[in-house]
Structure formats: C-alpha cells, structure tokens
Chain A
C-alpha cells in the first residue's frame, strides 16, 4: 500500500496557516493537492532565508497559477473543479461567491465534491461572516482570562487554530469516507470559534454544566492550586519549573513523600482529604520550599526513578533535540536543495502500512501549471504556450 488518499485530487484555496496545514495533511497521506494561485499574483518578498512556514504548510502540494478573471482562465479553473474531489478554503464568503467558488456554485459543477471550509465563527448565526482570525475566536471562547496568574493579562495561546487544522482534516476525510461508502458530496465547516472551544480546558464544560463557580471564572494562583500534587507548578533551585499530575494522591503519596523528604505518615498529610483540603496550603508551602532546594535535573531523575507522573517544563530545545521525536517522525531532518540540512515538523499520525511521507517541499507559484493542466485537462504544449503568452496562466520555476 502507499498513500491512503492517492486517487484523490484536492484544490487548495487557502491563505492562512490553519487551513493550508489541513490540506497538507491530505497531501501527506497521498492526495494530489493543487494550490491555486490567482493571477495577477501579488508581489512577494523573498528574504533569502529558508521559508520554513511554506515548507511545512505547503509541503506535498503542486501549484497552478491562472487568471480566473479571463474567460479562458475561468474555463481552466472550472475544468479543475470538475475533476477535483475536495476543495479546502479559508477565503471569505463574499469573495468566494464573487469568484463562483462558493459551495453552491462548485457543487453545481461537481456534485460529488467535498467542500471543506475554515470559517471564523461557523456556518450559521449572526457572526458567520466575521473574519477567520484566531485571536478574535479565542477572545470569544472564554479561556484567555483563566490561563495566567491572577492580575496578569489574558493569554492567547494560538492552540485553537491548530485544533481547527486537525478538525478540518477530520471532517474532510469523514465526508470522503461517507462518499466512498455510497454517500453524496457535501460541505464541511470547521470554525476557529468551535475549535477554540475544544482546544480550551474542561473548565468550559464544567461551567456549562454547573453554571456557577468563581474558580472557573477567575485565574487561580499556583499557590492556591486545588490539588498540590496535580496541575501544580513549583520552581526548582535553578529557576526551571517542575509540574506534577498525580490527581489520585493516595496512589502516589508514599513514593512522592519519600522523594520530597516528608514522612509518609506525617499527620498533616496522611489522607487525600488533608492533602487537598484542610492542609492544602501547608502542603503547597512545604513543596514550594522543598522543590526550591534542588535543580530541575535532580527532580527529573527522581521522577523517573520513582515512576512518578511529573516532569520539568521544557522549552523548544527539548523536542528539537529529542531522539524520540525523530524516531517517530514528529520532527524530520531534511536535505534542502538551497539550505542544506533543515529540521521541520513532521507527521503526528502514524499508519503502519500506508504512512505519511514527504514527496516534495513547497512549490513556487505556478511550478506545476503545465504538468497539472496537461495531466488533468489534456492541454497540449502549444496551448500552454499560448495561454502563458496571453497571461491566462503562468509557469513558475523553482528558485
């Protein structure tokens, strides 16, 4: 077996990271993803440095550049749509309608198409046409004020946009599977707003259910954490942080108490109720003092030796240097034609018999115009030259 989606053609009408990455996931698993560049193309800045973002979000894609405002360009675009299985877009609704690329227009040309769109706030409701900006969506989702320490500004994480990527790819493959099993084509919508709701903590579901709870509406100091042994943070001697996740404290207490140098039968802490209730503050203060006595490396070694659910809070240098991230292809080492050895995010999903693979880095605009129009629409070399001369299409060459 090779790529799961090898028989499928995807048109990529995306601008932003999130939807572009969803299309790249389809390409990773074998789909032919054609990025459409509408002419006239805006001028591009080239920095002379590796375009690391493009080589992540546009990997495994081809690029076709055409001018859809000319009748012959429009015809080519419609020809591609008629042969496509999937469209992925994050363009605004009025823009899509103006170009005849909205779901209604496209499905008239190609009823079987799966039309995947990343929106800001979903397909329904008064705010359905607000722009797809993750910060706006995150601001509406309620988690931002909860994340920092009390008195600090709200925190934007960017994680919602990444949830949207996975959700959009999921929705598209779900619709493809349905079609493969005899169903029709359809539209798939994933919004940054909805994605942020699933990207935020379970506190949201709790508040929705309970409808009250000051601790679900205001940030909690790390020195007032609900369970000193779970969801907690303590600075080590070298200023690095340790974090503990041992919700069931009865299970972990003996080994944990030994490690921090408290007596297992210390009467202040000899039950879950005392540790997380009556003497919670005392335990937090003890742990604050004890973790500050040794550097983070000491604690990591102790956590591992005693098989505790705890670790050090790392920076990006950790995954960047982690052999496990390479072994699982979460991070790839690549040979770039212009920049030598480069490191890139890889594939979060492993399939044993039809794994994701990297066939090519990002295309330059129009790099595959000739190839795609020949293979999919049967355009001859002569026609292509003529179209290029008339400015209907453009053929780019790799830098």
Chain B
C-alpha cells in the first residue's frame, strides 16, 4: 500500500508537471543513450578494426633483408643483407621462441588463367605454416598448401576469393586446373572472405599461393622477399626478434646492434597501439557521456527541489497526521529513482533501437557493428543509480527535516 501510495503520488506529479518531468526523463535518457552509444560504437569499431588488422595475421613478425649501417668484421657500411630459404630452418632450430616460420617470395604481374578468363596478379610461394600465420583460411572443401606439397614440389594452388570470382564466377574451383604463366596447377583451396586493412605486398584476396619449392623451381630466385615468423607467446615477440637478429648477424656477419641490417614489422606493436588508441577514445567518450548524464542528474535534482517546494504544504499535512520523516524521505527518493530508472531504461532501449537500425546505413565496413558490452551497461546503470540517489536524497532530506508548522503555514 505504501508502494502504491508512492506511485499514485508520482503519477499525480507526472501529470501535474508534464513538461518538467518529460525534460528530466529525457535528460537521463539522453545521458544514458550517449554513454551506451558512444562506447558501443567505439567498441564495435575497435573489434572490427582489430579483426581487419588481424586479416593479415595475428601477432606476426615480417622480416626483410636490409642494408648495414655500421661496418662489421671487415664488411663495409652499405652492404646489402639478403635472406635465404635455409634461414627459415636455421631460425627454427636455434630459437625455441618461434612457433611458426615461413619463407615468402612474390612474383608480380603473373598471368593466371582458367579457360578464357585471364587475371594478371601476384603469385606467392610459401610453406604450410604461412597459411596459419597469415589467416589464409580455406573455404569448405579446400585446404592450404601441405608439407607434402612442398616435399614433392606439387603444382597446386590456393587462391584468394576475389581471384576465384574473377576466374570461376559461381563455378566450383577446387580440383580444377588453372594456368600460371601457362604452367598447369590444380586448385586445392579458396580463401574465405576476410577483412584485411594492412598488408606489405597487396591484399590476399587476389593472390595465388603455391608451395615455396614449386615457386623456386619455376621463377628461379636467389633470395627471399621476406620471412614471416610467429612467436609462441605474443608478448615475447621482442625477445624473439632480438634472438633472430643475433642468429642472422652471426650468419651474415653484421653487427647484431645494427638495426638497419634487417627490416622488421612486428604487428604485436600495432595491437598495442590500437589498444591504446581505443582506450584513449573510450576514456574521452566516457567522459563526454558521463557529463551528459551529470547534466541529466542536475535536471532530476532540480525537479526534486521544485517538487519539494510545491509539496511543502502536503508534506506538512502528512507530518501533522503522523507521517515519519523516513516515510516522506523514502517517497521522494523513490520518485527520483523511478524517474532515473525510466529515463535509463528508455535510454538503453533507444540505444538498442539505433544499433539495430544501424545496418540500414551500410557503414559497418568503416565503423564496425556497434555492440553494448556488459561493462558499458553496468557502468551506465551504476552511474545512473548514483546520480538518481544523490539528486533525490538531498532535496528529500531537506523536505523531511521541515518543521511541520512552517510547512503547514504555506
């Protein structure tokens, strides 16, 4: 009954103060929606960027031969360092911190054809571990290059999904024969569609991947373009790189301190950068949302103050009839919390609707799919609760401390 009394009086207030109640509720709604939407979009963008970034591979290091910038053991400054296929096995045998390693050679402007369809693109030679490192995942019914393919120098090819479209259209590609520079190859797999926002030699979707051994006998290269390695533990990639430098410096006779003898791209550093960038963004957006909510809270506090003033007489009557201060306090507090709660729920619903409607704008490729995470929801709910309590408590306490005579006199 007490609860009913609260609600019936709250309802009366709502009716009596339509505009102010609506504005206050809207303030809370807007605050909640901005926190939830801002952080939701930021999170969606982060995960889509990360996914696209990992399109090239997750926590991998790419190593190119460079130029010595310090003379070393009789070798002059400016001497070129070239990587060789044997280096992959050397590194793997010497450095236990390496999980996967693969040589990589690329031949540009290679003619790839199937029947009358011709495509001029890149052909990449690698070993079996390359596919795992670089997220070259085969579609159902296909596979990437296997150790056996390498061993037997098989003429097999794994192709990107866009190249498959170009050559085969809707037709099945696996098992068919394509010509690479007029040499027949059997297609063993087609890469699944993936987002890739970074690369060092073009996007994978139009490439043809063949066993490294086959590539070598076909295109006769003395040196590797690069080596791709993946550490056992991502956080140890820096130590792994130091070890790689030591091993290769001994072999190629350069100063291991010389950081231009090899060029390295450590993608774990990108991840760190991205994490920090988005942390910064979340903090910023969180602060913006926080203050929007505070403004809503001030609105609630304002309405409660006004309510107390308007209802002073009513409070006086209730006190004269024997209502305890705690009853009056609880009632006013419950009203504030209800406004806050309704505003918050509407805000979350509003955010949900926006997020649901978002795919209509077809912007996911750029900003990702927004998502409400539990963290955000809990954060917003907590903040709302605190704001509701604070903005309701003080006016309510003021009301309950009124002297009954003074309250009645108004």
A and B: interacting chains: no
Chain A interface residues toward B at CB < 8 A: none
